[in-house]
Amino acid sequence: MDLKHSASGAAENADSYIASSKSTDMITPKEKESKASNKAPAEPAEGYKVYARRWAVLILFVFYSASNAMQWIQYTIINNIITRYYGISDKWVDWTSMIYMILYIPLIFPGSWFLDKVGLRITALVGIVGTCIGAWIKVFSVDPSLFYVSFIGQAIVALAQVCILSLPARLAAVWFGPDQVSSATSVGVFGNQLGVAIGFVLPPMLVPNSEDINQVGSDLQLMFYLVAGLTSILLILMAIFFQDKPPTPPSAAQEAANRLEGLGEQQVSFGQSLKNLLTNRNFIFLLLSYGINVGVFYAISTLLNPVVLKYYPGHEVDTGRIGLSIVLAGMLGSVVSGIVLDKTHKFKETTLAVYALSMVGMWIFTFTLDTGHIAVVYLTASLLGFFMTGYLPVGFEFGAELTFPEPEGTSSGLLNASAQTFGIFFTLFYSELFYSYGDVPANVAMAVMLIVGTLITAATKSDLRRQNAQVVLPTAVAAAANP
């Protein structure tokens, strides 16, 4: 039911949204538009509405995203066990992680176009179906000669992530008001981090390093069944409860974006939108800095097992827990960053601070691995994770600000494509340095890359177009729609 036009306004649980008093995001009810116009009734006096169901949609997305992300690191975190069971090289195990990055890059443009055309619900359903199918294929790969079957299942799950990674910023913009949109994006990214956390900790627990190959096979079977069952349940829940958009827009910026879509003469094609993004100097800087930061995280996550086991042999479970510490700290960092952005709207300053501290954390992690005390590794890895993975939603939101009114799915998709590209290069580079020269040169190289990313971030100008649109754009669009 459309509450804007409801006689009682109480038919559905909704909150009236009136923004805070900051000059950059103040929202007030619109004045009645042209009295002679019969195209749309006037806005209600109480302002924009946000619907309680938005939290159900967001929570469902979090678990859906987690179900896909948990499979990314599923093999590499038990690298030594997988290589022994299937009789394959370390490189093949690394490819189970890199396949996520490689398949995403060529599909980002059709994926963003698909999201723009069919909306959140259909895109999300396609993604959960692919995730579920890939997970079930892995169930039938438990035999030392069937690694190729497992890899096919992993590739299908990797394909499905195209329908996931671009959604957090779009979902937040469509469902949440301007003083919640950054926090909602953080929670959406939190789903991916939650999945990575589960992927770090669950495989070492379910598949211990047993000398009995048959026991390893049984443990792998259990793990694959659990993941397939979880994705099946989520598929059912998504089909029933995940909705495309609320009955009415939650903010002035989203209403303005909706109106622009509705004005045929002002519609922008996907190609033109892409051109606008790729000619935006500040967004290009963000593409580079975001790709470097997340690419370093991908490389470290992929090679975490051999790096930690070099100094602490037999600590496979600790390796998974260290990965879990990185991601849990990153989840906290994401939430804190989102709250800071919503309260201060200091996008450039927050992005630069988080990036610089990620670089500092990388240097500390590099020179504390060999202390002989694994507790120190837990601590430094957590510090690194708080800022490095906490940066993810900050980058998404800064990108949405720099590129408004271009679709959030397209800007997020390009950021993810940059991250996957750098992730492939950095993982291969990090792996080569580690196996040829050791962990210190490999980690130093990554730390130097983060210095470069920090400098690029510092050169990015703070052009907050979406914040400005909260006041300026609704009036202009209303005038265009009602001449």
* Rounded distance between C-alpha atoms, residue 114 and residue 316, angstroms: 41
Inform me whether the pLDDT recorded for 424 exceeds 80.
yes
Which tens digit of pLDDT belongs to each residue from 79-128?
Answer: 889 999 999 988 899 899 889 888 888 887 788 788 878 888 999 999 99
Q: Does domain 270-472 have CATH number 1.20.1250.20?
A: yes
Residues 6+ apart with CB under 8 A from 121: 242, 243, 244
Q: Which two tokens stand for residue 45?
A: 């006096």
The answer to whether 255 and 28 are in contact (CB under 8 A) is: no
pTM for this entry: 0.67
Inform me whether the pLDDT recorded for 414 exceeds 80.
yes
463 vs 64 pLDDT, higher one: 64
H or E segment at 51?
A: strand 48-51
- Bin 34: left if φ > 0, else alpha if -120 < ψ < 50, else beta: beta
pLDDT for 245 equals: 83
Short-list 171, 132, 135, CA closest to 53 = 171
Identify the band that residue 481 occupies on the pLDDT scale cut at 50, 70 and 90.
low
Which tens digit of pLDDT belongs to each residue from 290-342?
Answer: 999 999 988 988 888 888 888 898 887 888 888 888 888 888 887 788 788 77
CA angle (311 as vertex; 309, 316 as ends), nearest 5: 25
Greatest mean pLDDT range, 91-100, 251-260, 474-483: 91-100
pLDDT for 23 equals: 33
258 vs 123 pLDDT, higher one: 123
pLDDT for 185 equals: 77
% of residues, the chain, pLDDT over 90: 33
pLDDT for 3 equals: 38
Residue 125: how many other CB atoms lie within 10 Å: 17
* Rounded distance between C-alpha atoms, residue 181 and residue 246, angstroms: 15
Report the length, in residues, of the chain: 483
Burial of 149 per CB tally in 10 Å (0-12, 13-18, 19+): middle
3-state DSSP assignment of residue 17: strand
CATH 1.20.1250.20 range(s) for the chain read 50-249, 270-472
Residues 6+ apart with CB under 8 A from 441: 433
Which tens digit of pLDDT belongs to each residue from 461-473?
Answer: 877 776 666 655 5
Inform me whether the pLDDT recorded for 26 exceeds 50.
no
% of residues, the chain, pLDDT over 70: 82
CATH fold group of domain 50-249: Growth Hormone; Chain: A; (1.20.1250)
